[in-house]
Structure 1
Amino acid sequence: MSHTLGIAIESLVAILLMLTIGYCMLLNTRLKRLKADEHSLKATIAELITATEIAERAIGGLKFTVRDVNEHLGHQLTSAAQMSQQLKNQLAEADGVIRRLSKIAVAARPAAPAAEAAAPRASAAKAVAAAAQAFSDRRRPAGLAA
């Protein structure tokens, strides 16, 4: 019986050894897959790091562009405001010139054909006086005639 018990124990050890070898093979396969996944994960992480660096550079460039556009736009707004004020002043001056020209035109027009024949000298004198008045009205604030 001692041989039978020895063989049974040896057989049990052999079966357990074969189960252990099978389990080790299964673990080896899983470890290989885990290593492969680790390498692909490292590659993915490296790609993400590269993409992050590129995005950071792009954001820096965008910030610089926004600052540049902001300054340029502010400059253009200031220029536009100045141009608007200049145009407003020129329109006011043009309005004054139109008024003076209309005064000159009214003064230069003959009053009436019958009155012109009767007093041609008085009408001409009035026209000259109105023209002189219009010319003096044309004087600019700096003292120069327009």
Structure 2
Amino acid sequence: MMFGLPLGIFVEGAVAILLALTIGYCVVLNQRLKRLHQDKDAMRQMVADLVGATNLANQAIKELKSSAVEADLALTARLEEAERFGIELANHVTAGTALMERIARITSVARHSQAVEQVEEPNKVQSALQQLSSRVRNRGAAA
């Protein structure tokens, strides 16, 4: 006997204290497990959201790729059309330049012939006047 208490009561008291500590630890452990399960559910939700976001991103990437392909085809078609217009425009410019050269040559020839005609016209007028005056003299002498 210790200090007047029977050993059985001391052992039972110690077991009761250990049992109370065990129950307290089980309560704390139970709360932690509940939080872990809540976190697990939150993690499941987070993973599900992440999978959904990944699927949306993959779909968006596919749509971007198809849009890029369409834009590339449209741009290629427009570039080919622009190249055709450029060639056609170059041909028109070349034809216009040739036409301008022909017009310049024609005007140059026309100006040159006008200058020659202007020089020849006074000579023609003078010869016509001389012929007229000689006829008048010839008539006057014949009369």
Superposition deviation, residue 113 in structure 1: 7.1
Superposition deviation, residue 44 in structure 1: 1.0
Q: Percent identity?
A: 37
Map Cα deviations across residues 41-94 of structure 1 (whole Å, 9 max, x no partner). 111111111111111111000110111111111111111111111111110100
Q: Which residue of 2 aligns with 1:29?
A: 31
Match of 2:86 among 84, 87, 91: 84
Q: Which residue of 1 aligns with 2:140?
A: none
Match of 1:62 among 42, 46, 64: 64
Structure 1 residue runs without a partner (length 5+)? 121-146
Q: Which residue of 2 aligns with 1:142?
A: none
Q: Which residue of 2 aligns with 1:115?
A: 119
The one of the two structures with greater contact order (alpha-carbon pairs below 8 A, sep at least 6) is 1
Instruction: Using structure 1 for the length normalisation, give the TM-score.
Output: 0.75
Query: Which stretch of structure 1 is more off in the superposition, 70-79 or 19-28?
Result: 70-79
Give the direction of change, closer, same or farther, for the CA distance of 1:4–1:113 in structure 2 (3 Å limit). Answer: same
Instruction: Using structure 2 for the length normalisation, give the TM-score.
Output: 0.76
Query: Which stretch of structure 1 is more off in the superposition, 2-11 or 45-54?
Result: 2-11
Equivalent residue letter for 1:31: L
C-alpha RMSD over aligned residues = 2.0
- Between the aligned partners of 2:97 and 2:118, the Cα distance in structure 1 is 34
Corresponding residue pairs, total: 120
Match of 1:53 among 49, 52, 55: 55
Q: Which runs of 4+ in 1 moved over 2 A?
A: none
Find the residue that maps to 1:82 and give its secondary structure.
helix
Find the residue that maps to 1:111 and give its secondary structure.
helix
Structure 2 residue runs without a partner (length 5+)? 125-143
